[in-house]
Structure 1
């Protein structure tokens, strides 16, 4: 728990969460589809998350579908008072595992009720609207109608707080005219720095930024630079990548996922890893490195 708390906490609205959280996506089968390979191991990881002092779990009912939420409920319900569960809506899974857009008011309401039922709660702590104009990357498009539908569910007491995922800066700005946005969850890491300006603007307003794929998309040259930094810090590359994110901005929250208790503990170790200035300077060049 000491390692986790070294990363600090952050306020998602009225909810205090550890900046180092846990992403449950990998508990489902390959490509977040189907059941886990080892259900008992998945339950053990979730219980270790709580035992380690983490108070922020990221999930969605379209992981599986339904699998991760059912695992979370089996492992952790009744939930600790300090635990915040963040989920996502805006997609549905096809029978072939495909990711399909589901952003009508009826689809969003159904997704919210699916999350409520499978998690076993009366209200969802945070619901991120996953913008699906492009499945793989943020793409411009009007989000007023779906976000208004979620805001109406919030008024009914089914949702406490709302966030955005896979969103552009314009969509974040538009969203904030419709409802309070407590977090933005986008792809971002040492090598993929498209959201630098967005992170800084959100930090000024006390809004969390939650990067996913913390070690995805590195070129061989970039990976070599990260490995060198890891060797100097006597840490793993993932630990260094996560520690860099924690030091990048105080509003960054991490949700690294794993299906292994051992790997979970390695990730937790990143919260206690302080990168010296020369290492930070070296790592800052990774985003512009060329193969």
Structure 2
């Protein structure tokens, strides 16, 4: 079974949206140094992660950049502001170009195609190598098929499998790569948070009464299978994500110990029985989310 490339996500390095408010910057730099030493070359960030802090931390460690692959994002504004926002990210990252520029979230209050066209125009300028979309409903993509979008980023997590098959099919049919984020479910799949943490995660649907029983059932199954396999629940959750056929899975780590654990999934294999059992638990849990939700945060921008 082929496993996706492992990339490092950096949301946890910069507090935003009520998450990761107590992250230590020295620990963040230690994670980045270990990632480089271990051969990770794909790094995913965004201006909204700590109001630019995540991008600045990346630049403090990823110099010289050489063959590293850096992706950042932009929030929808007017088309003429896209370039300015990207230039700000480039200055924080101390680089001349982004390998991938993602639309972070769509907005139903704006006409999105001119905004995406403005992002794509940055390819000709050499400021961006590729343009993609993150958290994007498939209905938007149908309107953008004449634009040179090459990458989609969506959740690849046992907490959320709704529409995953449709995205896989769309990406295959249109020659696009899939990048998955949050394979550890914002840290909830490690088995340490059966109850709601006292941060932004407490608002996730898995802590609603109608979903919490199924969430606990998923955690129990992860713990059982991990014990049988001789690994941790977090490793098993990441291994499941890396078996889903995405090109890259972006995982976060708040310290070196967490990253070291995740790196060991390169030496593990998930058999078909284990994958099938986890698939079933994930589908059952996701069915408990409100039908109007198209991501596990419940955002409809």
1:86 aligns with 2:71: yes
1: CA distance between counterparts of 2:20 and 2:254? Answer: 14
Cα deviation 1:165-223 (Å, max 9, x = unaligned)? 010122233333212x2211122322421122211331354422222232334711122
1:182 aligns with 2:169: no
Instruction: Give the structure 1 partner of residue 200 of structure 2.
Output: none
CA 1:35–1:69 in 2, change beyond 3 Å: closer, same or farther?
farther
2: CA distance between counterparts of 1:280 and 1:34? Answer: 30
**Are the aligned partners of 1:33 and 1:65 in contact in 2 as well (CA < 8 Å)?**
no
State the TM-score, normalizing by the size of structure 2: 0.78
What is the DSSP-based 3-state SS (H/G/I as helix, E as strand, rest coil) of the residue aligned with 1:284? helix
Counterpart among 277, 282, 295 of residue 282 in structure 1: 277
2: CA distance between counterparts of 1:67 and 1:271? Answer: 30
CA 1:176–1:244 in 2, change beyond 3 Å: closer, same or farther?
same
1:144 aligns with 2:118: no
Cα deviation 1:246-288 (Å, max 9, x = unaligned)? 1121x34111111201100111112321011211121121123
Instruction: Give the structure 2 partner of residue 130 of structure 1.
Output: 104
Instruction: Give the structure 2 partner of residue 12 of structure 1.
Output: none
Structure 1, unaligned stretches of length 5 or more?
1-5, 9-18, 91-101, 135-139
Structure 2, unaligned stretches of length 5 or more?
186-205, 207-213, 289-301
Alpha-carbon RMSD: 2.4
1:75 aligns with 2:61: yes
CA 1:115–1:133 in 2, change beyond 3 Å: closer, same or farther?
same
Instruction: Give the structure 2 partner of residue 265 of structure 1.
Output: 260
2: CA distance between counterparts of 1:119 and 1:230? Answer: 38
CA 1:31–1:103 in 2, change beyond 3 Å: closer, same or farther?
same
**Which runs of structure 2 are paired with 1:5-154 in the superposition (5 Å)?**
7=3, 19-29=5-15, 31=17, 37-79=23-65, 81-90=66-75, 102-133=76-107, 143-154=112-123
**Are the aligned partners of 2:23 and 2:254 in contact in 1 as well (CA < 8 Å)?**
no
What is the DSSP-based 3-state SS (H/G/I as helix, E as strand, rest coil) of the residue aligned with 2:100? strand
State the TM-score, normalizing by the size of structure 1: 0.80
**Are the aligned partners of 1:21 and 1:57 in contact in 2 as well (CA < 8 Å)?**
yes
Cα deviation 1:134-167 (Å, max 9, x = unaligned)? 7xxxxx9853111011112222221111010010
**Are the aligned partners of 2:154 and 2:181 in contact in 1 as well (CA < 8 Å)?**
yes
**Deviating 4+ runs (over 6 angstroms):** 32-36
What is the DSSP-based 3-state SS (H/G/I as helix, E as strand, rest coil) of the residue aligned with 1:62? coil
Cα deviation 1:60-105 (Å, max 9, x = unaligned)? 12211110111111112111x2210011111xxxxxxxxxxx4212
What is the DSSP-based 3-state SS (H/G/I as helix, E as strand, rest coil) of the residue aligned with 1:20? strand
2: CA distance between counterparts of 1:161 and 1:44? Answer: 29
**Are the aligned partners of 2:16 and 2:49 in contact in 1 as well (CA < 8 Å)?**
no
